[in-house]
Structure 1
Amino acid sequence: MRRIITLAQWILPKRLYEGLRFHFGRVFRFSATRKKICSYAGQKHILYALTPTPKLANIGDHAQVVAIDAWLKKHFPSYAILEVDKNEVLHCMPEIIDSTGPDDLVFLHSGGNLGDRGMYSESGRRKIIQGLPNSFVFSLPQTIHFSDSLTGNRERETSKRIYATHPNLVVLGRDKRSGELAKELFPKAESFSVPDFVLSLPCKEIAIKQNRAPRTLICLREDPESVLSDKDREQLVQSIAGEKEVFDTTFAEPIRREERSLKLEKTLDYFASFDSVVTDRYHGLIFSVLCQRPTVVLGTVDHKLTSAFDWFDAIQGLRFADSIDKVPFLLDEVKQEGFGNAPNWNGEYFDVLANRLKQIAETNG
């Protein structure tokens, strides 16, 4: 094979060679995945699709996989689980279609990418919805946002048209506003809101170390969803008194499937080593809640946190800051108040969700 590749490199024009190399590289790259997918044909299974690839190294995305996988195993124990990531969906749809029967269930990964800012994920979601019309498709909690732009309006209409073709589709919002948008945009689908799945994970019972100065973790995003300029970030960090560290949930190295649980555990241990948290990351807030740490939250460019904060209204020791100037005061306030009064997330939401989705499948099956 190597000799053939070398010969082709000498004989063929460069552009043709590079094109063929790219095409056959994709074929061989996903050959093992295709075999794995085909092995599930005829087997009662759940297709859990559009999970993050290793290169999407945001631990918040991978934490959702850890939580959803545990939830699926708890509530659907008679089903085998076939996980396919975003790349695998886009390159292996013929095999996915052939191996997925009408009695299999399809769950699409949760997150914040149902909209024109997450078109790679949205393209995969559309392929699944179009390609599996005879299966129940459950799109797990998403922040839904299409920008008011030429591109956003065009992509919104495309998603509306494609989603409307599926007879058994459930679209879940990750916050109240996203749930409302799901009903508006996809009226033929069943739609409602539930919190982010990471909240279904067990809380960390780690006490604050005594005899040391209080420490604050400043967990800030460094991407286009941030509303903070470099100057704002610097001002915010300088305004927080005492020992502090700056962190982001996106890692420098890829997160492989077999590493997810360990890296999540280390991240939660890291959050728990601080006395308080300031964050504009949704999963920065959720990790803080799991670690039971007082937290001040800042908004982003959309309603991801402003609307989702409703889930946390009753919890003691959490505040939303509508400007960086208010963070120091609110941080002192939540530290004095302390963390408490968190709900039973599984009892109130995720166990109920499983029963509701089963009823939908049974009623329409």
Structure 2
Amino acid sequence: MKLRRRIVVFIATPTHGNLGDQAIVYAQQAFFDRMGLGDSVFQITREQYYSTAERLAEIIRKTDLIVVDGGGNIGTLWPVENDKMIDIISRFKGNPIVVFPETAFFEASDEGDRTLQEVKRVYSAHSNLCISCRDEETFRLLKWAAPQARVMLMPDIVLSLNHASGKSPRKEVALLCLREDKEAVIEKQVRSVIAEAICHANLEIREISTVQAHLQPITRRTRDGAVKQILDDFRSASLVVTDRLHGLIFSAVTGTPCVVLDNVSGKVSAGYKWLEEIPNIFFCSKSDDIKLLVRAAVTQGPRRYSVDRRTDYYKMLQCEIERMLLG
């Protein structure tokens, strides 16, 4: 802080083993690196934030930019994450805050209504807030909840990575990357159909998860290696079948053929809309289509990913960040 007029604070960054969340922070850092601001970024982990939040609010200057990680953090699906967002936005009311691309989901219940009203109360009270949204429903909700904020529609920030494709040899392996948590909607018989379709494609099945159990927290120092490893795993496969948003995204940026199914909140199908032009990625809305789509994806083979069609969205975010830093 003594060396720089302003700093960029990534606040409450994850240390858990969800590599989708870790890839988001990795891509955010790369985003600021490309802006020439990488050396101004200071990261505060979630644990550090919760233990020192009041002190941090005193130390961080009102001109410093607060960055909140993207993800599926707004609403009732993951209440702890929503509470974290509420706390940050209300605690740093005097700072410019940028929220990287988010998905919101509010259940149709009294609790969902109460949570949405609380989000509206806190977000609308902040005078210098920029929120990025990964889908049109989130965009519509947050435009209503925070009418004074700069609300933008854009892809997940991991799709801004343009260097993940490579020439690593592909193995005759299909990665099965399916959820086992409350976001999962795929029934047991559908999993059997998927396995049968993969066998017909003469590929070996390997189950993989984008959530890993780590004995040690993932830190800024170890994050790059963890993200690069999961990208290498996807890059080495001939096919991915997934119902995880970042399973889809990791497939896209590594050029790996993919058949994608939706999750309970619909964020996967919303994420696919940003990638519809990629010929080796197929969205499966009916289990009867799985065999056909697996065959089509394998036939298409690997493709090199390009961020070009998404560049204008990220430039819009860059311009807003520059405005907030200069304001």
TM-score > 0.5, shorter chain as reference? yes
Q: 1:65 aligns with which of 25, 31, 53?
A: 25
Q: Once the 2 structures are TM-superposed, how far is the Cα of residue 111 of structure 1 from its aligned partner?
A: 0.6
1:228 matched to 2:189? The reply is no
* Structure-1-length-normalised TM-score: 0.81
Over the matched positions of the two proteins, sequence identity in percent amounts to: 27
Q: Conserved in 2, the CA contact under 8 Å of 1:318 and 1:339?
A: no
Q: Conserved in 2, the CA contact under 8 Å of 1:176 and 1:193?
A: yes
Q: 1:237 aligns with which of 195, 201, 205?
A: 195
- Secondary structure of the corresponding residue to residue 267 of structure 2: coil
Q: Take 1:59 and 1:350, find their aligned partners in 2: how far apart are those partners?
A: 22
* Structure-2-length-normalised TM-score: 0.90
Q: Take 2:115 and 2:156, find their aligned partners in 1: how far apart are those partners?
A: 24
1:48 matched to 2:6? The reply is no
Q: 2:273 aligns with which of 310, 315, 319?
A: 310
Residue 55 of structure 2 is matched in structure 1 by: 95
Q: Conserved in 2, the CA contact under 8 Å of 1:276 and 1:295?
A: yes
Q: Identify the range of structure 1 (280-289 vs 192-201) with the bigger mean alpha-carbon deviation.
A: 192-201
Report which of the two structures shows the higher radius of gyration computed on alpha carbons: 1
| 2:72 counterpart letter in structure 1 | G
Q: Take 2:154 and 2:133, find their aligned partners in 1: how far apart are those partners?
A: 6
| 1:204 counterpart letter in structure 2 | S
Higher relative contact order (CA 8 A, sep 6+): 2
Residue 291 of structure 2 is matched in structure 1 by: 328
Q: Once the 2 structures are TM-superposed, how far is the Cα of residue 105 of structure 1 from its aligned partner?
A: 0.6
Matches within 5 A, 1:270-289: 270-289=233-252
Q: Take 2:305 and 2:277, find their aligned partners in 1: how far apart are those partners?
A: 7
Matches within 5 A, 1:1-365: 44-53=6-15, 56-77=16-37, 80-201=40-161, 202-209=163-170, 214-241=172-199, 242=202, 243-254=204-215, 255-257=217-219, 258-340=221-303, 342-345=305-308, 347-359=311-323, 362=326, 365=327
Q: Take 1:185 and 1:41, find their aligned partners in 2: how far apart are those partners?
A: 37
Q: Once the 2 structures are TM-superposed, how far is the Cα of residue 121 of structure 1 from its aligned partner?
A: 1.9
- Secondary structure of the corresponding residue to residue 228 of structure 2: helix
5+ unaligned residues in a row in structure 1: which ranges? 1-38
What is the CA deviation profile of residues 218-259 of structure 1, one whole-angstrom value per residue up to 9, with x for unaligned ones?
A: 111111001023443344323422222111111122442122
- Residues matched between the structures, number: 320
Change (3 A) 1:123 1:89: farther
5+ unaligned residues in a row in structure 2: which ranges? none
Q: Conserved in 1, the CA contact under 8 Å of 2:254 and 2:304?
A: no
What is the CA deviation profile of residues 189-229 of structure 1, one whole-angstrom value per residue up to 9, with x for unaligned ones?
A: 110111111122212212444xx7x3211111111001023
Change (3 A) 1:349 1:127: same
Q: Conserved in 1, the CA contact under 8 Å of 2:164 and 2:231?
A: no
Q: Conserved in 2, the CA contact under 8 Å of 1:315 and 1:341?
A: no
- Secondary structure of the corresponding residue to residue 88 of structure 1: helix
What is the CA deviation profile of residues 265-299 of structure 1, one whole-angstrom value per residue up to 9, with x for unaligned ones?
A: 12111112211111111111111112111111100
Q: Identify the range of structure 1 (222-231 vs 338-347) with the bigger mean alpha-carbon deviation.
A: 338-347
Change (3 A) 1:267 1:244: same
